[in-house]
A and B are shown apart, each in its own frame.
Chain A
Amino acid sequence: MRYSIAFLLFMLLLTCATAPVIAQTIKVQVITKKIEKNFHYKEGYEVNIEGEKAEVNIQTWEKKEIQVVMELIAKHPDKAVAERDLELMKHLAQRVKNKIYLRNYLSSVEGKGKSEPEAYLSVKYTITLPGECPVYLKNIFGAANISSLTNRLRVNSEFSRIGLQNLKGSVEIKTRFGDLIGQNLDGWFNIQSRRSDLTLQNISGRFNIQAQYGTIRLFANDDLADLRLDAEKSEVWFYHPNPQFVGYSLSARGSEVNLPSRIDAHWLALDNGERKITFSPNREYYPKVSIRITFGNLHVEKRVAP
């Protein structure tokens, strides 16, 4: 017994010693250019952001002022290389009429014998503004955390993670190759998603979602008024606190659909291979959920309070 334990320990040690992945850590010089700028806010103004490899944080405050903090960051073991490549990152923070433009981009490397930048480059925006200020954000290869806006938000994002929290008003999101994670969303939401995963917690109001190639998890609360979802080649989970009190209009083609047993309705098979089901609860007012699923799976389940 004693020998077998010793043998096991020896084997464990051998496995650890020959682990194929060896951690590589390097010391880098971090050069950060920090830009701070404030703008007075007037009704009708819009903040217009175009970020590239940027982490964009948008938060609100009571002041009638828009505060912008931009950090352009370059990391490299050699300080001179980090400083040189930092200069390739350009930025813009400027008001033109009623639009406040915030941009970052990489200027092209000019001249002979120059190659791509060698440093690790990234950008961070921290924007604090009144909740009623409309925002347009275009971001590629980055991340966005947006909270507490109440008026109008438009996001066009690729290869990025978008986090939304406590939003109201009109929201339009376009995402490709990204992730959308939201919490406490109430308003008119229009989402177009391709090859992106969506997880939206505690949603109410009206939602119109078009999705292709994604995993979609929607956790509604009792105040959800209307949901229209057109999902293609996607895996969809719809959770509601009382799924039996929701009116459904579902259509499925080449897909599996799992409904709670308390929903008593029968499928109607059409000639084109589509199946349809409609169900209205015996109530005067109820949320309307309309889902079309093509070559995917749909699961409707009761939402258990967290």
Chain B
Amino acid sequence: MFKKQTMEYRELNRNTLERAIRELPGYTPEQELWTAIEAQLELEAQDKQLRIATHQLPLYSPPPQAWGKISSELEQKPKLRKLWTRPVLAIAATIFGVILSVGVWLYFSEDTGAQMVLHTTEMLDVTGFEGDWDADEQDIAMVVSMVEKMPENENLNSLKTELKELNEAKAVLTHTMSQYGKDADLIRRLSKIERERSKIVKQMAAEI
């Protein structure tokens, strides 16, 4: 409590600060971030599984003869010999190695992709794109409100659930239209949903 009071006292232009904070732009993380996080989590899960599996492995101690054999082999000094007796051969081998490495790298590396922007013009048919799909919402709402006042039964509940699903689908579709623009396919899908909504509302009205 004391700390809070002290902080409030120190901030002379608190309102200005709060307004400035409110005006800061909001940012959403890039899609690549989630992909990277997903990959990292997958890797960690695999490592964890591997660690658990390592602990479960049985332990075996080697027979005493094995150590004797290893120490006797270590005592025998290896004989070193010069690999390239001629310097020309060594240079040629180096060049060959470099070319081979570059070739392998080029073959296995993924290309960064090509990108281009094109500009054309076309005629777009927008006949009937102005929507009248919300024209009857008031009447639909009236039927729903009347149904809400009625005693519940299995058929009405099922109709309400169906209408809810269709309303949600309509909301998603109209939101997409506002973001991506209307096209014939979206309008066709919306028309189908509207036909199904009409059927449900008619059935509801018949129950009143």
Q: B113 at interface (Cβ–Cβ under 8 A)?
A: yes
Closest beta carbon of chain B to A49's beta carbon, Å: 13
| Number of A-B contacts defined by CB within 8 Å | 131
Which of B35, B110, B118, B181 has the most CB atoms of chain A within a 10 A radius of its CB?
B181
Give Cα A107 to B132, complex, Å: 28
Give Cα A163 to B31, complex, Å: 28
Contact call A177/B193, Cβ cutoff below 8 A:
yes
Which of A79, A93, A94, A161 has the most CB atoms of chain B within a 10 A radius of its CB?
A94
Could you say which of B20-28, B74-82, B97-105, B136-144 contacts chain A? B20-28
Could you mark each residue 235-251 of chain A with 1 if its beta carbon is under 8 Å from any beta carbon of chain B, else 0?
00000000000000000
Q: Which of A25, A106, A143 contacts B125 (CB 8 A)?
A: A25
Q: B95 at interface (Cβ–Cβ under 8 A)?
A: no
Closest beta carbon of chain A to B199's beta carbon, Å: 11
Closest beta carbon of chain B to A125's beta carbon, Å: 14
Contact call B31/A117, Cβ cutoff below 8 A:
no
Contact call B38/A96, Cβ cutoff below 8 A:
yes
Give Cα A108 to B12, complex, Å: 35
Contact call A96/B36, Cβ cutoff below 8 A:
yes
Contact call B186/A32, Cβ cutoff below 8 A:
no
Tier of interface size on chain A: 35 or more
Contact call B115/A33, Cβ cutoff below 8 A:
yes
Contact call B118/A25, Cβ cutoff below 8 A:
no
Could you say which of B48-56, B145-153, B171-179 contacts chain A? B171-179
Contact call B181/A31, Cβ cutoff below 8 A:
no
Interface size on B, residues (CB 8 A): 49
Contact call B110/A96, Cβ cutoff below 8 A:
no
Q: Which of B114, B118, B178 contacts A116 (CB 8 A)?
A: B178
Contact call A24/B126, Cβ cutoff below 8 A:
yes
Could you say which of A37-45, A223-231, A276-284 contacts chain B? A37-45
Which of B26, B31, B118, B129 has the most CB atoms of chain A within a 10 A radius of its CB?
B31
| Also in contact, A177 and B169, with CB within 8 A (given A32-B120, A110-B25) | yes
Q: B122 at interface (Cβ–Cβ under 8 A)?
A: yes
With CB as the reference atom, state the residue of chain B lying closest to A33.
B117
| In the complex, chain B residues whose CB is within 8 Å of the CB of A93 | 113
Give Cα A219 to B26, complex, Å: 53
> Which chain A residues (11-35) contact chain B, with CB distance < 8 Å?
21-35
Give Cα A97 to B186, complex, Å: 36
| In the complex, chain A residues whose CB is within 8 Å of the CB of B119 | 29-32, 79
Contact call B115/A21, Cβ cutoff below 8 A:
no
Contact call B31/A159, Cβ cutoff below 8 A:
no
Give Cα A30 to B26, complex, Å: 30
Give Cα A107 to B126, complex, Å: 26
Closest 6 pairs between A and B when the two form their complex, measured CB to CB? A37-B113, A120-B181, A96-B39, A32-B118, A121-B180, A53-B180
| Additional A-B contacts beyond A24-B127, A26-B124 (17; CB < 8 A) | A23-B127, A24-B125, A24-B126, A26-B123, A30-B119, A33-B116, A33-B117, A39-B110, A53-B176, A75-B181, A95-B110, A106-B179, A110-B27, A117-B179, A118-B181, A159-B172, A159-B173
